Amino acid sequence: MLVVDVLAGGVRGGTAIMFAALGETLAERAGVVNLGTEGCMLVGALGGYAVAAETGSPWLGLLAGALAGALLGLVHAAAVLWRGADQFATGLTLMFLGLGLTSLFGAAYVGSPAPGFDPVPVPVLGDLPIVGEILFRHDPVTYLSFAVAPLLWFLLGRTRTGLLVRTAGERADVLHAHGHSPALVRAAAVVAGAGLAGLGGAQLSTAYAHAWFEGMTAGRGFIAVALVIFAAWRPLWVMAGSYLFGAALAVAPALQARGQALNQFALDALPFVITLVILAILGRRTLRAAPEELRRVFAR
Residue 130 region, left (φ>0) first, then alpha (ψ -120 to 50), else beta?
Answer: left
Residues 42, 134, 150, CA angle at the centre, nearest 5°? 65
The pLDDT of residue 283 is 60
Mean pLDDT of the chain: 91
CA 151 to chain centre: 15
Is the pLDDT at 187 greater than 80? The verdict is: yes
Is the pLDDT at 260 greater than 80? The verdict is: no
Contact assessment for residue 20 and residue 197, using Cβ atoms and an 8 Å cutoff:
yes
- With b for 16 or more beta-carbon neighbours within 10 A and e for fewer, the 26-46 pattern comes to bbbbbbbbbbbbbbbbbbbbb
What integer is the mean pLDDT of 17-39? Answer: 97
Is the pLDDT at 256 greater than 80? The verdict is: no
Sign of CA dihedral 205, 208, 213, 216: negative
The pLDDT of residue 296 is 79
Q: Which range among 48-62, 169-183, 209-223, 258-272 shows the weakest confidence by mean pLDDT?
A: 258-272
The pLDDT of residue 264 is 65
Is the pLDDT at 244 greater than 70? The verdict is: yes
The pLDDT of residue 255 is 74
Coil, strand, or helix at residue 289?
A: coil
The pLDDT of residue 144 is 95
The pLDDT of residue 69 is 98
- Any alpha helices (H) in 78-135, and if so which ranges? 87-105, 131-135
Contact assessment for residue 212 and residue 52, using Cβ atoms and an 8 Å cutoff:
no
Residues 207, 213, 217, CA angle at the centre, nearest 5°? 65
Residue 273 region, left (φ>0) first, then alpha (ψ -120 to 50), else beta?
Answer: alpha
This prediction's pTM: 0.94
- With b for 16 or more beta-carbon neighbours within 10 A and e for fewer, the 269-300 pattern comes to eebbebbeebeeeeeeebeeebbebbbebeee
The pLDDT of residue 285 is 62
The pLDDT of residue 41 is 98
CA dihedral 278, 279, 284, 289 (to 10 degrees): 80
Sequence-distant (6+) residues with CB within 8 A of 284 are none
In terms of Cβ atoms closer than 10 Å to its own Cβ (0-12, 13-18, 19+), residue 158 is exposed
Is the pLDDT at 124 greater than 80? The verdict is: yes
Distance CA 167, CA 259 (A): 53
Q: How many helices (H) and strands (E) does the chain have?
A: 14, 0
Is the pLDDT at 243 greater than 90? The verdict is: yes
The pLDDT of residue 267 is 66
% of the chain with per-residue pLDDT over 90: 73
Distance CA 247, CA 28 (A): 25
What integer is the mean pLDDT of 40-60? Answer: 98
- Regarding predicted confidence, which is higher, 14 or 292? 14
The pLDDT of residue 300 is 65
CA 165 to chain centre: 19
Please state, in angstroms and as integers, the Cα–Cα distance from residue 124 to each residue in 121, 176, 257, following that order: 9, 52, 27
Residue 95's nearest CA partner among 201, 253, 246, 210 is 201
Coil, strand, or helix at residue 215?
A: coil
Domain ranges of the chain: 2-298
CATH code linked to domain 2-298 = 1.10.3470
Residue 122's pLDDT band (boundaries 50, 70, 90)?
very high
The pLDDT of residue 282 is 66
Is the pLDDT at 269 greater than 80? The verdict is: no
